[in-house]
Amino acid sequence: MTPMVDLSSGSGTLEILAETNRDESGITSGIIYFEKNISYSNSSVASSADGTWNNVTLGLFGDLEDYEVTETRGLFQTSIGDGD
């Protein structure tokens, strides 16, 4: 996962990598939970957020056939929630 995203311009890119080393694992998706809500788009080049959530689901937009998925999301500064 990108260790720090600079939102000083209003938005930035978050990259998330998930991998397994075994086909037999049966992993087809994953979910990352955050302590607070974040606003993001499913595209790193979008000009506005798709919504505000406290999780990101992986595998829906990527391809796990090589045991690895890298996905990017666009994060947005103005609507980062307080976790409520």
DSSP string for 26-75: ----EEEEEEEEEEEESSTT-SS-SEEEEEEEESSSS--TTSEEEEEEEE
Q: How confident is residue 84, by pLDDT bands cut at 50, 70 and 90?
A: very low
Q: Decide if pLDDT at 13 tops 60.
A: yes
Asked if residue 33 is part of any domain, the answer here is yes
Q: How confident is residue 82, by pLDDT bands cut at 50, 70 and 90?
A: very low
The pTM is what? 0.72
- Total domains in the fold of the chain: 1
Phi and psi, residue 32, nearest 5°:
-110, 125
- Predicted confidence at residue 20, as pLDDT, reads 73
The tens digit of pLDDT for each residue in 23-77 reads 666 667 788 999 988 999 988 899 999 999 999 888 755 555 667 778 889 999 8
* Residue 62 structural domain: 11-76
Asked if residue 70 is part of any domain, the answer here is yes
Asked if residue 83 is part of any domain, the answer here is no
- Predicted confidence at residue 60, as pLDDT, reads 55
